[in-house]
Amino acid sequence: MIDWTHWHNEPILTGGLIFLAWLYAILTGPLREKLSPGAAYPRRHALKFYSALICFYLGVGSPLDQIAERYLLSAHMLQHQIIIYPAAILFLLGIPEWLIRPVTSKQSLQTVFKILTNPIFCGALYTTIMTVWHLPSFYDLALQNRLVHIAEHFMMFGAALFYWWPLYSPSKEFPPASYAGQMLYLPAVIIGMTPVFAYITFSSDVLYPTYEYAPRISPLSAAADQLLAGSMMKLIGMSVAMIAFGVTFVHWYRDSERKNPALGRLSKSAK
């Protein structure tokens, strides 16, 4: 039976999140003057950063986790969506530029960072990690081994940070891609993720034994649950990417209008 009062308190999970919260508080508090003299406390950034940690914990530490581990692939997919979208995006948006500058400004790391933050690398890394972890052998191993499961989630979160870096980079040395580049990047990643989505959604077999033989806690069969999970992967991922695409398009249009006032006048006359 599902214990709806069970929240994980494992040292790796809770200790890691508490450490990140403590480190952020120290760096943006007592050490802020040393890192960025005169900088005010980044309230908006902090709200986003701590919200990211809460989202991560809700995804993998709440009762949702036992449903995802034991019963429903669709619940597990929801966990992944929470990690990849709100948690990763808020994490990046929660980092002030001056907080990451001591690392990104190091001359010895410039070449490495240039490669790691290239949109092609970011998209390829994200697509590869997500695809590999959804192969039946790796996915079911994570369900059977708690440490592997933790590694799976942290790798997905790390891959998601790379995925969103070309849009929400907090670094001046390695800033977000151009608006045009972002509008090409987002559909490219969606296309890159299509094979794994199709593999899960349209498979004639139940791919993951754990869910095939799990007790049914919903009206869905194992096959229907797998279909739902694959659809969630595609539809939620595409929806978030298209919202980001729309926001980028608006920024691109406003930037073009600012640089070319004639474009703005033409637009207004057309109305």
Q: Does residue 15 register a pLDDT over 70?
A: yes
CA separation for the pair 72, 226 (Å, rounded): 8
Average pLDDT over residues 146-175: 94
Which one is predicted more confidently, 3 or 188? 188
CA separation for the pair 37, 53 (Å, rounded): 27
pLDDT band, very low/low/confident/very high, at 260 (cuts 50, 70, 90): confident
Q: What is the pLDDT of residues 95-123, one digit of tens each?
A: 999 999 999 999 999 999 999 999 999 99
Average pLDDT over residues 161-169: 98
Q: What is the pLDDT of residues 197-214, one digit of tens each?
A: 999 999 999 999 999 999
Q: pTM score > 0.75 for this model?
A: yes
The domains of the chain are located at: 11-270
